[in-house]
Amino acid sequence: MSESVNTTAESTARDEQERRWEENCLNPSLARMPESQSEFTTVSLRPVKRLYTPNDIADIDYARDIGFPGAPPYTRGIHPTGYRAKLWTMRQFAGFGSAFDTNERFKYLLAHGQTGLSTAFDLPTLMGYDSDHPISEGEVGKCGVAISSREDIEVLFDGIPLDRVTTSMTINAPASMIFAFFLAAAERRGIALHSIGGTLQNDILKEYIAQKEWIYPPRPAMRLVTDTFRFCAAEMPKWNSISISGYHIREAGSTAAQELAFTLRDGIEYVDYGIRAGLDVDEFAPRLSFFFNAHNDFFEEIAKYRAARRIWHRVMTERFKAKNPRSRQMRFHTQTAGVSLTVQQPINNIIRVAIQALAGVIGGTQSLHCDGYDEALALPTERAALIALRTQQIIAHETGVVNTVDPLAGSYFVERLTKDMEEEAWEYFRKIDEMGGMVEAIEAGFPQKEIHESAYQYQRAVERGEKVIVGVNEFEMEGNELGEPNILQIDETVAELQRERLDRLRRTRNQAAADRALDALRRGAEDPRANTMPLLIDCARADCTLGEMCDALRPVFGEYQEPSF
Amino acid sequence: MSEPRIRVLLAKPGLDGHDRGVKVIARALRDAGMEVIYTGLRQTPEQIVNAALQEDVDIVGLSILSGAHMTIFPRIRNLMQERGMGDVLLFGGGIIPEEDIPKLKEAGVSEIFLPGTSTEDIIRFIRGNVTPRE
């Protein structure tokens, strides 16, 4: 009682103080020197006030909403000591050309202090086509590494200790097929599955929403995902069966709050489907991981990560009644915003990346990728990838931001923003729940339309000059006085090499065994109780190609055609 | 009678799924009074040229961010030529290295727009180079 009287008295005194400040300090200043804009907004066009004070966080309770790191609701992070015991994993996303080319880049990055691997696949692979399929022409090895077989995966990870270095594979529609290659390759190297740590992106929902690399319609595709959940729950305790990704949602033009909301609502959908597939929530939820963008607006990004952890804790506790604390702890990877990189004066991108990465670190990311400064032009050169890795090392070892846990907690502005973004996400959850779930919302085009609207509004703000992009709509220069970067070119020899390798594979394998494995896969897919994952591993062992495995499921699952929204 | 409107076909060839840019441009061109037909993702060169013929468009725009532009642009230009659309302009945009631009222009692509281009510049280019047919 007396406490609340005191609080009220304090707040009245503060109001009086603020009123006097406005009158004596602010208003004369505004009269002398008006503000440069009538409204200040974040990169997501969210209005930001001139000043935040204790009044802005009056509804936030430390114990309930913020708490201690490593303890619910995990707003301040999932580790009690932040980065003081262990830094984030420096995981640069890499992949181009053939498996031989990318293996070399992997080794280069590890030799320079990188602590985890992340694989980028080319478009044919992402779409489930072999490198020698006619549709792959012109695309082989161009925006990632070309992988069509178990042999290719073996080359990709040759000489890399898979039981010590964690690997991440950014693959979605054919995630379980590539995973099967990976597991069959590990088996041949004699590595026990339970000892392998890493992440399969495996997030098909955000493909329909944003990245648009799909094969099958959402419902059968969700079955493939829950099959991997079941497989990993039983066999691979150190493997993240999914990386639920907001990155691509943001790149497609969403706001920070939409990225937060759609990603976490996707997370809810995966938990729902996992439970429906017969799993107990605590069997698979501890291995769900997340992936966010780090964009230019420093504080908004940090608030987004903090809100994400708090929301996930509440969702897992209240909605799913998870008992294992690990099910309630959101772990996430962060990548700087590719979409923010400019072709104009590309060296400037090094600065953008550093600031974005700093937000990811202060936001408590578990692993981080920094974009290469030349990525608005092409895939990163070795030099650009090295500078990106060095950016992480400078943040880790020189800036001092790792010395204390969640350093921005208690900031009136950051706590307000964290709470506002959280509320915006709950509002989206309500809307999507009303539609019946995320699969239904996707089928209705809801998140797609919301993202497109935000992308368009942002473009208009840039064109009106309300949002400045240095070197693009202000501070432009003729030519690139800051230096013309060399760019990585992938020629058609990669496609030739892949054609030869696939040719030889098909000629030398036991064809009857390959046919039997594909037939068993098809029959397994027709039976909703069967798990496709072991059947896919059998296909990988029998040297079936990626395209053959994906094709085997097409007649059973159908193919996705995007409706026009 | 109202002025004839410029008819534009916008297309995403190849396997690339990045459609943020093409959709923003489609909307900006519509807001500028043009008639825009957007093909959707993953159209083959044949499908794109067929659509251009059927829709009787004045200009075709391609968006490619995957690095396959040197294969796809010339193929579409040649198909347009073969199908009697030699007078229909072809332009494009995406992640395209500067050094490829002269080669693409030589292959009959009228203009390439790089990231950071204002939609106003694209509208100005189309209006400056296309006279809508009656």
Question: Are the Cβ atoms of A343 and B118 closer than 8 angstroms?
Answer: no
Q: CA of A142, closest CA in chain B: separation in Å? A: 6
Mean pLDDT of chain A: 95
pLDDT at A434: 98
State the Cα–Cα distance between residues A163 and A159, nearest whole angstrom.
12
pLDDT at A339: 95
State the Cα–Cα distance between residues A135 and A142, nearest whole angstrom.
14
pLDDT at A250: 98
Q: Mean per-residue pLDDT for A473-487?
A: 78
- Residue B19 belongs to some domain of the structure: yes
Give the tens place of pLDDT for each residue, A81-135.
999 999 999 999 999 999 999 999 999 999 999 988 999 999 999 999 999 999 9
Number of domains in chain B: 1
Which residues from chain A sit within 8 angstroms of residue B40, using beta carbons?
562, 564
State the Cα–Cα distance between residues A294 and A315, nearest whole angstrom.
23
Which residues from chain A sit within 8 angstroms of residue B116, using beta carbons?
342-344, 469, 472-473
Q: Mean per-residue pLDDT for A411-416?
A: 98
Beta bridge partners of A428: none
- Residue B1 belongs to some domain of the structure: no
Q: Mean per-residue pLDDT for A137-142?
A: 92
* pLDDT at A3 > cutoff 50: no
* pLDDT at A6 > cutoff 70: no
pLDDT at A482: 63
With beta carbons less than 8 A apart as the criterion, state whether A144 and A123 touch: yes
- Residue B65 belongs to some domain of the structure: yes
Which residues from chain A sit within 8 angstroms of residue B20, using beta carbons?
251-253, 339, 452, 455
**Per-residue 3-state assignment (H helix, E strand, C coil) for A412-442:** HHHHHHHHHHHHHHHHHHHHHHHHCCHHHHH
Q: Which helix (H) or strand (E) holds A352?
A: helix A348-362
Question: Are the Cβ atoms of B116 and A472 closer than 8 angstroms?
Answer: yes
Give the tens place of pLDDT for each residue, B44-73.
999 999 999 999 999 999 999 988 899 899
**pTM metric for this prediction:** 0.94
Q: CA of A76, closest CA in chain B: separation in Å? A: 34
- Residue B85 belongs to some domain of the structure: yes
pLDDT at A1: 40
Domain containing residue B49: 7-128
Give the tens place of pLDDT for each residue, A431-444.
999 999 999 999 99
- What is the dihedral sign for C-alpha B30, B34, B37, B38? negative
State the Cα–Cα distance between residues A99 and A137, nearest whole angstrom.
18
Question: Chain B 49-68, CB below 8 Å of chain A: which residues?
Answer: 66-68
- Residue B57 belongs to some domain of the structure: yes
- Residue B25 belongs to some domain of the structure: yes
Which residues from chain B sit within 8 angstroms of residue A487, using beta carbons?
97
State the Cα–Cα distance between residues A143 and A378, nearest whole angstrom.
8
* pLDDT at A2 > cutoff 90: no
Q: What is the CATH number of the domain that holds B71?
A: 3.40.50.280
* pLDDT at A5 > cutoff 70: no
State the Cα–Cα distance between residues A87 and A542, nearest whole angstrom.
41
Residue B81 touches partner A, C-beta closer than 8 Å: no
Token pair for A220: 């059968």
- Residue B134 belongs to some domain of the structure: no
Which residues from chain A sit within 8 angstroms of residue B70, using beta carbons?
138
| Of the partner residues B17, B119, B120, the one whose CB lies closest to the CB of residue A213 | B17
Residue B46 touches partner A, C-beta closer than 8 Å: no
pLDDT at A362: 98
Which residues from chain B sit within 8 angstroms of residue A129, using beta carbons?
15
Q: Mean per-residue pLDDT for A260-289?
A: 98
Beta bridge partners of A93: A118
Angle between the N-to-C axes of helices A532-541 and A218-235, in degrees from 0 to 180, rounded to the nearest 10: 80
Residue B120 touches partner A, C-beta closer than 8 Å: yes
Give me the count of residues in chain B: 134
Domains and CATH numbers, chain A: 63-463 (3.20.20.240)
- Residue B59 belongs to some domain of the structure: yes
State the Cα–Cα distance between residues A512 and A111, nearest whole angstrom.
43
* pLDDT at A137 > cutoff 70: yes
- Which among A124, A215, A219 is positioned nearest to A561, based on CA atoms? A215
Contacts (Cβ under 8 Å, ≥6 apart) of B2: none
Lowest mean pLDDT, pick from A12-16, A52-56, A252-256, A369-373: A12-16
Instruction: Quote the percentage of chain A above a pLDDT of 70.
Output: 98
In eight-state DSSP terms, residue A34 is -
